[in-house]
Amino acid sequence: MALDKATVARIATLARIKVADADLDKMVGELQTIISWVEQLDAVDTKGVEPMTSAVEVTLPMREDKVSDGGYVAQIVANAPEPVVVGEGAFFTVPKVVE
């Protein structure tokens, strides 16, 4: 793919990047190098290759799903200025925020 100064200026405008006219020639060369590198990558045959999710195959350890903390609701609600106890649950009351 051939690039010229007008195309690079258009790309810079779309990307909202201010590029001075003096720097456009340099940018043409740099973008052309990047595009040719991407074209080289496109030439690689990747049929039958599974996509990688990680560079290293790792299986996360599983743990039992159980409660490991809690069970002291009374101690937590003891700090509340106006605790509300309903059945087995206890709650904090807070001022109304939305009017």
Distance, CA of 97 to CA of 39 (rounded, Å): 57
**Quick check: helix, strand or coil at residue 33?**
helix
pLDDT per residue of the chain (99 residues) written in tens, 0 to 9: 678 899 999 999 999 999 999 999 999 999 999 999 999 988 888 888 888 777 787 788 898 888 877 778 778 877 777 777 777 677 877 788 887
For the chain, state the CA radius of gyration: 31
Sequence spans of domains, the chain: 5-42
pTM (predicted TM-score) = 0.46
User: Which position has the token pair 């903390």?
Assistant: 69
Name the nearest CA neighbour of 31 among 41, 43, 20, 23.
23
